[in-house]
């Protein structure tokens, strides 16, 4: 153990502090830098030592000089983000950078990892827009529930735009072609200092007179379109009593006015197309409706005709005649049956009669007379017993071929019979 | 006077045209419906034909007009 080791050891005697490794300290620093105040921040400064690495990554310092104080911040911007930066970066340029502070352990230094760069003037405007956006969102200006549908058939269309220039002309052309109606133009400056006030005023002037408003402007730079981000304009749109269609700049440029509008159109012409219906297609749909109405009525009539035909068919003389014939047939069949029944009955009765006649004939007393018997009668009655006769009675004898009147002399009763 | 004319035009366009189209659709549905009597269907057709003509007249009479609201 050498003297200096001994010394340290003596100094530390009684303490239990561990010796940290470099990486432990480094990660501690990293943890400390994970502070909300250092994450996703905008910083203003001047570019120094700007270098683009072969890999495409950019390295530079952001400097600030104010009086005797000076401060420098190392910055790195990766290739992917650097490609998105539209302006040319060079030393001495005032810029706004957006990013987070991080610690680079291999070199033991902290730096800003840049994700966006804006030239100072424009950058500040971007920041302003961001701030306005937050504020106006909180006010509910961009609430999707607020968006209204456009009227299907407006009578008057308000146009808020520059009175000179192609935009108004485009809108006019489209509307006169699709559906000529009344345009109420509320002219306004569309760029420059104070333009936002004019735009808001122009909206207010026309909003009570029309059914829908087109707020339009041709393409331009971010600065040109800047008035359309202003809260005065955005609030006016969100308070507008009629729907607003926005068509500001090119499709890629989005302003806060576009967010607030009820409908955003990619171009002024497209806005005009959204706002008015197409007269030709309306004529077509009317013609279609008439045709459909006719064909549906015709179908109904045909169906009714069919119903009527079948009803008439049921009532036709021919059908009645058919029914009569059928009835006649029934009658003839019945009478035939009756006739047949009656004749067979007659036949039967006739047979019975002849049988009876035969029986009768068989029992004819004439037959007995034929056989030699005779019938004794007294006063026309047939005498069957000796008891019926008294001596002196006059009796008639009936024989096969004649009669004889006799007088009884004596009567003998045969007791054995 | 001008205001009255404007109001009238406005009425014709927004109210009437929309109403005409709505009524036409209802008429179509009713004519197709077998519950509707034939007499009624024929009357509806006649009404529909009038509506179509009115709507076409409104469309045909539409004209371009441009007014400027002054910046005072």
Binned at pLDDT 50, 70 and 90, residue A416 comes out as low
Average pLDDT over residues B46-70: 85
Q: Which of A156, A163, A282 is facing B59, going by the closest CB pair?
A: A282
Average pLDDT over residues A337-365: 88
**Which residues in chain A have Cβ-Cβ distances shorter than 8 Å to B14?**
151, 153-155, 211
- Which strands sit side by side in the sheet containing A375-378, from one edge to the other? A381-382, A375-378, A394-399, A402-407
Chain B 12-41, CB below 8 Å of chain A: which residues?
Answer: 12-14, 17-18, 24-25, 27-28, 31-32, 34, 38, 41
pLDDT, tens digit, for every residue of A209-218? 999 999 999 9
pLDDT level of residue A9 (50, 70, 90 thresholds): very low
What is the per-residue pLDDT across B24-34, written as a single tens digit (0 to 9) for each? 889 888 888 88
Q: How far apart are CA A292 and CA A155, in angstroms?
A: 28
Backbone angles phi, psi at A254, to 5 degrees: -115, 125
* Chain A neighbors of B34, CB-CB under 8 A: 300
Q: How far is A301 from chain B (nearest CA, A)?
A: 7
> The tokens 């024989």 sit on which residue?
A399
A7 — pLDDT class (breaks 50, 70, 90): very low
Q: At what angle do helices A268-275 and A166-178 cross, to 10 degrees?
A: 30
Distance between CA atoms of A199 and B38, rounded to whole angstroms? 59
SS3 state of residue A252: coil
pLDDT at residue number B15: 59
**Which tokens in the block code for residue A286?**
């009317």
Instruction: Give the CB-side neighbour count of residue A314, counting CA atoms within 13 A.
Output: 5
Sheet with A244-248: strands ordered across: A263-264, A244-248, A212-217, A156-161, A182-187, B65-68
Does the structure show a pLDDT above 50 at B67? yes
Residue A207 reports pLDDT greater than 90: yes
Mean of the pLDDT values across residues A228-245? Answer: 95
pLDDT digits (tens, 9 = 90+) for A364-381: 777 778 888 888 899 888
Query: Which tokens hold the place of A63?
Result: 């400097």
Residues of chain A found within 8 Å of residue B27, distances taken between Cβ atoms: 293
Q: How many CB pairs under 8 A join A and B?
A: 105
Instruction: Tell me the C-alpha to C-alpha distance, in Å, between residue A36 and each of A101, A131, A220.
Output: 10, 18, 37
- Say whether A258 sits in a helix, a strand or coil: helix
Chain A residue with the nearest C-alpha to that of B40: A297
Instruction: Work out the number of other CB atoms within 10 angstroms of the CB of residue A61.
Output: 18
Identify the CA nearest to A286 among candidates B40, B25, B15: B25
Kindly list the residues from chain A whose CB atom is less than 8 angstroms away from the CB atom of residue B41: 297, 300
Which segment of A90-104, A214-228, A317-331 scores lowest on mean pLDDT?
Answer: A317-331
CB contact under 8 A, B38 and A180: no
Which residues of chain A lie closer than 8 angstroms to B42, CB-CB?
297
Please give the share of chain B, as a percent, with pLDDT higher than 90.
0
DSSP code for B13: I
Residue with tokens 């927004």: B14
Of A216, A277, A176, A184, the closest CA to residue B14 belongs to A277
Within an 8 Å CB–CB cutoff, is residue A200 touching chain B? no
**A198 in contact with chain B, both atoms CB, cutoff 8 A:** yes
> Regarding predicted confidence, which is higher, A390 or A122?
A390
- What count of residues does chain B have? 72
DSSP E strand boundaries for A206-252: 212-217, 244-248
- A212-217/A244-248 β-pairing: parallel
Residue A159, pLDDT > 90, answer: yes
Of residues A155, A293, A296, nearest to B9 (C-beta): A155
> First and final CA of chain B: distance in angstroms?
23
Nearest chain B residue to A185 by CA: give it. B68
Query: Average pLDDT over chain A, rounded to whole?
Result: 88
Confidence of residue A314 (pLDDT cuts 50, 70, 90): confident
C-alpha A139/C-alpha A239 separation (Å) is 11
- State how far the Cα of B65 lies from the Cα of A270, in Å rounded to an integer: 20
- Are A290 and A272 in contact by the 8 Å Cβ rule? The answer is no
Q: Give the chain A residue nearest B7 (alpha carbons).
A: A155
- Those residues with Cβ within 8 angstroms of residue A136's Cβ, 6 or more apart along the chain or in another chain: A142, A231, A234, A235, A238, A256, A260
Q: Please tell me if residue B42 touches chain A, with a CB cutoff of 8 Å.
A: yes
Q: Which of A210, A289, A294 to mutate to test the interface with B (most CBs of B within 10 A)?
A: A289
Q: Shortest CB distance from A289 goes to which of B14, B28, B34?
A: B28
What mean pLDDT do residues A296-324 have? 84
- Identify the pLDDT of residue A92: 86
A183 and B27 within 8 Å at the Cβ level: the answer is no
134-153 of A, contacting B, C-beta below 8 A: 151-153
């Amino acid at each position: 153990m050498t003297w200096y080791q001994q010394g340290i050891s003596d100094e530390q005697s009684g303490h239990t502090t561990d010796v940290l490794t470099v990486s432990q300290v480094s990660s501690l620093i990293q943890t400390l830098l994970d502070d909300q105040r250092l994450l996703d921040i905008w910083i203003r400064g001047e570019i120094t030592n700007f270098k683009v690495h072969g890999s495409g990554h950019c390295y530079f310092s952001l400097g600030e000089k104010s009086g005797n104080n000076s401060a420098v911040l190392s910055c790195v911007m990766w290739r992917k983000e650097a490609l998105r930066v539209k302006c040319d970066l060079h030393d001495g340029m005032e810029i706004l950078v957006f990013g987070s502070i991080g610690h680079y352990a291999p070199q033991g230094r902290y730096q800003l990892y840049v994700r966006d760069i804006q030239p100072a003037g424009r950058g500040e405007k971007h920041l302003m827009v961001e701030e306005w956006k937050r504020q106006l969102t909180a006010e509910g200006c961009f609430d999707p529930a607020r968006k209204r549908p456009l009227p299907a058939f407006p009578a008057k269309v308000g146009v808020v735009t520059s009175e000179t220039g192609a935009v108004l002309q485009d809108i006019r052309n489209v509307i006169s072609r699709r559906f000529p109606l009344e345009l109420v133009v509320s002219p306004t400056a569309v760029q420059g200092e104070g333009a936002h006030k004019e735009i808001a005023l122009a909206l207010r002037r026309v909003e009570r007179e029309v059914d829908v408003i087109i707020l339009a402007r041709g393409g331009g730079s971010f600065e040109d379109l800047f008035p359309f981000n202003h809260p005065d304009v955005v609030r006016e749109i969100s308070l507008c009593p009629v729907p607003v269609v926005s068509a500001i700049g090119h499709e890629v440029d989005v302003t806060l006015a576009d967010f607030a509008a009820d409908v955003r159109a990619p171009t002024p012409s497209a806005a005009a197309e959204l706002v008015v219906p197409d007269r030709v297609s309306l004529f077509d749909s009317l013609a279609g409706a008439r045709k459909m109405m006719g064909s549906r009525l015709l179908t109904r009539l045909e169906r009714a005709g069919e119903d009527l035909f079948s009803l008439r068919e049921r009532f036709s003389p021919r059908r009645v005649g058919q029914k009569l014939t059928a009835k006649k047939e029934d009658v003839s069949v019945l009478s035939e049956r009756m006739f047949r029944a009656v004749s067979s009955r007659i036949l039967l009765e006739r047979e019975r009669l002849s049988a009876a006649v035969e029986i009768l004939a068989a029992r004819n007393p004439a037959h007995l007379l034929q056989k030699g018997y005779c019938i004794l009668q007294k006063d026309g009655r047939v005498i069957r017993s000796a008891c019926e006769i008294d001596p002196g009675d006059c009796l008639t004898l009936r024989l096969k071929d004649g009669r004889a009147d006799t007088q009884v002399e004596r009567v003998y009763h045969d007791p054995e019979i | 006077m001008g205001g009255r004319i404007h109001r009238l035009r406005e009425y014709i366009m927004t109210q009437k045209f929309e109403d005409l189209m709505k009524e036409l659709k209802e008429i179509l549905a009713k004519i197709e419906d077998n519950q509707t009597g034939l007499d009624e269907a024929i009357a509806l057709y006649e009404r529909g034909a009038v509506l179509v003509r009115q709507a076409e007249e409104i469309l045909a009479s539409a004209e371009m007009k441009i007014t400027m609201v002054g910046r005072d």
